[in-house]
Amino acid sequence: MKISRQGTKEVYLARHGETGLNAGGYIRGRANPPLDEAGIAEARALAASLATKQPVAVISSPLQRAVQTASFIAQALEVTPTTDERFNDRD
């Protein structure tokens, strides 16, 4: 979240990077696969892009793929990522 000069808040929503199940066309739900190589590259690119926006917090679902994506973003922003169960996928 970033507070702009006018005092308004901006929220950036992003989807996690690719997993092997995504690449295979499977719906994951609460399955918990890690990012694959393409997903890691996507997460790094997203982190670089969001770093220019300077958000002040990174929150993700506790699922591994989301945590991995959030970790790349948080590292680029030099913040500590947090998880929130309310961001979990539906079954």
CA dist., res. 22 & res. 15, Å (int): 12
What's the CATH code of the domain at 67? 3.40.50.1240
- Please give the structure tokens belonging to residue 3: 């507070």
Predicted TM-score of the model (pTM): 0.84
Beta-carbon contacts of 8 under 8 Å, excluding residues fewer than 6 positions away, are: none
- Other Cβ atoms less than 10 A from the Cβ of 90: the count is 5
Number of structural domains found in the chain: 1
Closest of 69, 9, 11, 77 to residue 41, by C-alpha: 69
pLDDT per residue over 28-84, tens digit each?
677 889 999 999 999 999 999 999 998 999 999 999 999 999 999 999 999 999 999
Domain extent, residue 23, equals: 2-87
